Structure 1
Amino acid sequence: MESDSSNGVSKISNSNCQYAWFNPARLHPAVEALLYWRDPKKSGVVFGVTLLTLLSLTAFSLISVVAYLCLFTLGGTICFRIYKSIMQAVQKTSDGHPFKDILELDLTIPEDKVNEIGKDVVKYVNSTVATLRSLFLVEDLIDSIKFLVLSWVLTYIGACFNGLTLIIIGVILLFTLPTVYEKNQAQIDVYVKIAMDKLSIITNKMKAAVPEGKKEEKKDQ
């Protein structure tokens, strides 16, 4: 058994994340840099501001949180602009606007990019609608049973947490799990493979116990 597990680790590590759920190559470079903490300062600021905003929403209304964010942001930028103007006047320099580099950034979204995003959204919506139709109309009994169990589990999760709490937990996991997986990839992949194999065995047993599944197997034969 020990040799099998060690072989499993080596195979997984050599197959370039065969069972990887976190793949940095699939992400935009900027998103990948944030989630994997390539620049700890930027990731820390984004994570902190996002988490603070979500925590604020638990105590205040959305309008109040947005208003306070705008208030503090504008207050900070105005004070910084006045400070830099005074320093330029005292030192007799001509550095110009302190936010010149940011103001000159091109923030316009190209039309081809919008069309590409629109196509991806349409594909995702169509795929989701088709999947939901298949689940609710019991096209595959096993898949519908899985969805039923998932819905049942979600009722208990919903009783313990509200939507905002789940979003906060999701943000925390989003900024922690990728780095944890990256550092412990081989070990995690082994356990994920074991879990997936056991799930596959259970699913196959369920399909074998369902009459419809047996009929389909006979047709295939």
Structure 2
Amino acid sequence: MAERSEETLMEKISEKFRGSDSSDSDDDKSKLKPSQSSLKSKINRLFGRERPVHSVLGGGKPADIFLWKDKKASAAVLGGATAIWVLFELMECHLLSLVCHFLIFSLAALFLWSNAATFINKSPPQIPQLSIPEDLAVNIALSLRFEINRSLAVLKEIASGRELKKFLAVIAGLWLLSLIGSSCSFLTLLYAVIVLVHTVPFVYEKYEDKIDFYWEKAVIEIKKQYAVFDAKVLSKIPKGPSKDKKH
């Protein structure tokens, strides 16, 4: 009896130790989980992004197309852009000639079909009434006007001489754009933009953590080099009159 009681006591003690070990391991796991999540939250997202890529791109159908959520629509847009680029750049077709030939073929087919329908005792085809809605035209014009005015306001602010960083960034961007424009046509540039829009967001969303990690390291190095450049060059350039200057 004494041996059995000792065995039961030893079993109870071992069970208690196992329970405490399991609870300690659970506590350790619970402590590790927030630390891992905090590490993920500490990663500086690209361009200070705090929202998902889908919402940054505007959400809805366009974001689904850019991120290949709707594969059929994405393939259709990219395939159509590729066909237009091949047609006008590689085959060197002219837009005006192509539009005229398309209209000639369409009008001739509809005209012949309408006249042939009278001989075979069938009703002629109903051609739909095509027109641009007034609300759509007004909204497009207002949006275009707003964007143009905002761009002009930004250019005016940059030309005032108060924002040296923006001035240098805009000059570098325009110079780079002029180099690209001199080496390729506008249609090729537009096609390259469409291809980039359909590939870069998709790749970034797939390898988001890795790209953000290397981006953060690159930003730190760029800030170091800019601090040196600012101390040696930019700080010695005279600045324009400040906006808050009292007369």
TM-score, normalised by the number of residues in structure 2: 0.56
How far has the Cα of 1:61 moved from its partner? 1.0
Counterpart selection for 1:46 from 66, 77, 81: 77
Equivalent residue of 2:86, what SS?
Answer: helix
2:158 counterpart (129, 135, 146): 135
> In the alignment, does 2:55 pair up with 1:32?
no
In 1: Cα distance, 2:142 partner to 2:80 partner: 31
Q: CA deviation at 1:182?
A: 1.2
Cα pair distance change 1:34/1:158, threshold 3 Å: same
Matches of 2:165 and 2:47, distance apart in 1? 28
The CA distance in 2 between the partners of 1:18 and 1:146, in whole Å, is 18
Unaligned runs of 5+ in 1: 1-5, 79-96, 98-102
1:169 deviates by 1.1
Q: RMSD across aligned C-alpha pairs, in angstroms?
A: 4.4
CA distances 1:24-75 after superposition (whole Å, capped 9, x unpaired): 2142512122222222222212211122112212111112344566689x69
Partners of 1:36 and 1:178 within 8 A in 2: yes
Sequence identity percentage: 20
For residues 14 and 158 of structure 1, the distance between their equivalents in structure 2, rounded to whole angstroms, comes to 33
Distance 1:149 1:17 in 2: 19
Rg comparison, structure with higher value: 2
Structure 1 equivalent of residue 197 of structure 2? 174
The answer to whether the 8 A contact 1:54-1:164 is kept is yes
| 1:59-112 residue CA offsets vs partner (Å, 9 max, x unmatched) | 11112344566689x69xx9xxxxxxxxxxxxxxxxxx9xxxxx8xxx97684x
| Residue in 1 that maps onto 2:7 | none
Whole-Å separation in 2 of the counterparts to 1:192 and 1:21: 17
Query: Which structure's relative contact order is higher, taking Cα pairs within 8 Å and 6+ residues apart?
Result: 1
The count of residues paired between Structure 1 and Structure 2 equals 186
2:181 to 158, 176, 186: 158
